[in-house]
Amino acid sequence: MRHDLLADVLSAMTSAIKNGKNELNLSFNSKLTMKVLDIFKKEGFIQEYVIVPETKGLKIIFNGKLNKCNVIKPRFSAKKDEIEKFEKRYLPAKDFGCIIMSTNQGLLTHYELKEKKIGGKLIAFVY
């Protein structure tokens, strides 16, 4: 039984990248996972992801720009003034990668949060 689908997907993605794979086939997915993958695609970290109807799983196609991704546990709350502190903690350099956060406006990157001047809960990071 899986407890955190997003953590399983992101760790499988990191392992596939380290092993030099160009795509990853998974037999599970969730709404949160698909929203996070939408952000990865929008930010240019993955090329595409496709829902496989037979298994209700995912096929993720990489484009070579993803180095590491992981969930942030526990899911800390971050006010608009605290986002930079978590950016320094989870990202290797300023403006390199992004932190995904959950807000009342949906999942957003930390760049969008700074622009809108709102806070949220930390979900994942990618670079």
Token readout for 56 is 């209700």
What are the extents of the domains in the chain?
5-62, 72-126
Fold match between 5-62 and 72-126?
no
Q: Is the pLDDT of residue 94 over 90?
A: no
Cα–Cα distance measured from residue 85 to residue 115, given in angstroms and rounded to the nearest whole number: 16
* pLDDT confidence of residue 105: 95
Q: CA-CA distance, 59 to 111, in Å (whole number)?
A: 27
The structural architecture, per CATH, of the domain 5-62 is 2-Layer Sandwich (3.30)
Fold of 72-126: Dna Ligase; domain 1 (3.30.1490)
Instruction: Give the residue-averaged pLDDT of 24-46.
Output: 95
Q: How many contiguous H segments (helices) and E segments (strands) does the chain have? A: 4, 8
